[in-house]
Amino acid sequence: MNNDSEKLAQLRHSCAHLLAAAVAHLYPDAKRTIGPSIETGFYYDFEFQTPLSDDELPKIEEEMARILPTWTEMTHEEVTADQARERFAGNPYKIELINEFSAEGQTLTIYTSGDFSDLCRGGHSENPSKEIGAFKLLNLAGAYWRGNEKNTMLTRIYGTCFSTKEELDSYLKMLEEAKLRDHKKLGPQLDLFVFSELVGSGLPLWTPKGTLLRNLLDSYVWEIRQRYGYERVEIPHITKKDLYERSGHWDKFKDELFRITTREGHEFAMKPMNCPHHTQIYNRKQWSYRELPQRYANTTMCYRDEQSGELSGLSRVRSFTQDDAHVFCRLSQSKEEFLKIWDIVHEFYGRLGFALRVRLSLHDPAEPDKYLGNPDRWEYAENMLREIVQEKKIDWFEGVGEAAFYGPKLDFMAKDSIGREWQVATIQLDMNMPERFDLSCVNENNEHERIVMIHAAIMGSIERFLSIAIEHFAGAFPVWLSPVQVQLVSVAEAFIPTAQELAEKLKKAGIRTHLDDSKESVGYKVRSAAKDKIPYIIVIGEKEKDLAQLSVRVRGQEEALVTSVDDFVNRIKGECDV
C-alpha cells in the first residue's frame, strides 16, 4: 500500500469510528460490532433494537458533522483482557472479539477521540477534524455477524470519505453514473440474461443474445490462445472427493462445495475449479522434456455454494464459467510462458479499451498456515514474478496476502470507462500441485524432473467479466461484440420484401442483422432499437426500395450515414477486424 492509499484508508477508518460515535449518541441501545475501511470507503455493523431506514442516514450524517470539530486527536491505550471486558460489558460482539484476540496472545488496544472509544487495532488519522474533509453515508445493507449465516443479522451502514469535498463530489457523480450502467438492470433490459426463482438464486440463465455475446468473447480468447500453442480439453462437472483431498482444495473450499452422495455411498462434489482435473489429463502418460510445455485450455462451468446474502447479479454467482488454461512446463520455461500469457491478456483487454495495471499478489508472512509449500519455493516464485513486472516497466504494486493458497500470482487490474478498477485476468505460478500429484517429465539426463504448473484465466469468470463489460460500455458494445449489429425497420408491409432482401445480403456477408417487421409505428421501432443500443438502424421505405442507397442511423451520432450497401458492409467488416 503506498502512502496516499494508506492515508486514505486511515481517514476512512477514522470516519467509521465517527459514524459509530454518532450512532451511539442517537441510538444508545444499538450494539456496535466492527467498522473497517474498505476500498470504496468504510462501513460499520450494528445491532439495532428497531430497524433502521435509509431515511435516517441524513440525521446520522448531521450528528457526525456536529461531532467532527471536537475530534482533534486520536489517542490509544493498551489494555488487559479484563479491562477490555469491563469497558465493553453488555456488548456480546466486543466480548467475543476480546476473548478471541486475548486467547491468540494479541495486544488489545482502545482508540479514543472526543467522547468515543472503541476496541481497535489502529490505523487512524492523527487529527480527524482537519483531515476528514468530506464524507457521505451511502446506504444500508444486511450482514451476518462475522459473515456466518447462522449468526445474527446486523445492519451495515456504508459510507465514503475523502480529504476534500471536490474528491467526494467526483466520487458521488461516478456512483450516479454507475447506477445508470448497472448490469443487473441493463442485462435483462438488453435481453442478455435472466434469473428464475424456480432455478435458484445465483444461477443465471443466458438468452440467445447473451449466449452469443459470451461465445464471441470466448472465441476471441481462444483465437489468441491458439496462436500461442494451446490445445482444448474437456472435463466432467463432478469429481470424487479424493481428487480435491489430494490437491488440498477439499479443506480449503469444504464450506463452498456442492456435495453429492451416490446411491453406493461415494462422495462427489460439483467442481469449484478445474486445475486438479487438468493435472490428471497431463498425468495420463510420462512426458519427455522435449514435449513440454503442454498447454491446455478449457472453458467450463464451475460451482460454489455462496451465501445468499453475498450474491449480486453476475458479479457473485453460484455457477460461473471460467476461460481456464493450465500450462505444464519446466521451471526454466515458466518465465517465457508467463510472458506469453501476459501478451494474450494485453491483446484481449487492449481491444476492449481497458487500461491495465498489475498487482503482484504475494503470501502474507504473518499467516504461513494459509499457504501450501515450503518457504524457499515461495521465495523463488515471488522473485521471478517481481522480475517480470520490473522488466515490463508497467504500473504495478504489491498485494501482500493476495496470493492463491498454492502460489503467487500476477493479477491484472482494469480501469473502466468511469474510473472504477476491477481485478480481471490472472496468471498464477504453482509449484505445489505438481508436487501433490507427482507431475514430472524425463529430462536430458533421463531423470524424472518435477515440473511446475501455471494457471491462466483471461476473463476469469465470464459472468463476472460481463458484469464489468456491460457497465464499462453501458450496454453499447463495440460493433464486433454487439449481438445485433444492424436493425432493419420496415415502414409498411409493402416494404417488407425489400427489407428481407437487404437482411439476406447482410447476413451472407456475416453481419448480425435483425428485421423488425412488426406493425408498430416506425418511431416506436426506431426508439426500441436505440434503447437496445444497436449500432446501426436502417429504415426501409420508399427511398430505399431499390437499395441503391441507404440512410443509416449510427449509434451516438445525430447525422445519418448515407452509403451504398457494399460500402456499408465494408465499414462493418472494418470495425470487426482485429
Candidate list 322, 428, 485, 487, residue with the active-site label: 322
Domains of the chain: 3-180 (3.30.980.10), 197-473 (3.30.930.10), 479-576 (3.40.50.800)
Active site residue 275: yes
Residue 578 has a pLDDT of 55
Candidate list 271, 326, 363, 525, residue with the active-site label: 326
d(CA 380, CA 357): 23
Residue 303 has a pLDDT of 95
Candidate list 15, 120, 161, 275, residue with the active-site label: 275
Of 341, 339, 336, the residue nearest 297 (C-alpha): 341
Strand partners, 161: 135
Neighbour-count burial of 230, counting CB atoms closer than 10 A to its CB (0-12 exposed, 13-18 middle, 19+ buried): buried
φ, ψ of residue 9 to 5 degrees: the values are -65, -40
Structure-block grid coordinates of residue 411: 493479477
Candidate list 304, 318, 363, 533, residue with the active-site label: 304
Residues of the chain with pLDDT under 70: 1-3, 578
Please report where in the chains the cell 474437456 appears, as a residue.
Answer: 234
d(CA 320, CA 341): 22
Strand (E) positions, 253-353?
Answer: 259-261, 267-270, 287-288, 294-303, 319-329
Residue 1 has a pLDDT of 45
Residue 544 has a pLDDT of 84
Of 2, 478, 480, 527, the residue nearest 219 (C-alpha): 480
- Its sign, for the CA torsion 260, 266, 267, 269, is negative
Active site residue 322: yes
Active site residue 255: no
Candidate list 181, 409, 420, 525, residue with the active-site label: 409
Candidate list 124, 183, 359, 455, residue with the active-site label: 455
Give the CA angle between residues 503, 509, 514 to the nearest 5°. 30
Residue 3 has a pLDDT of 58
Candidate list 324, 411, 416, 532, residue with the active-site label: 324
d(CA 578, CA 167): 38
Active site residue 324: yes
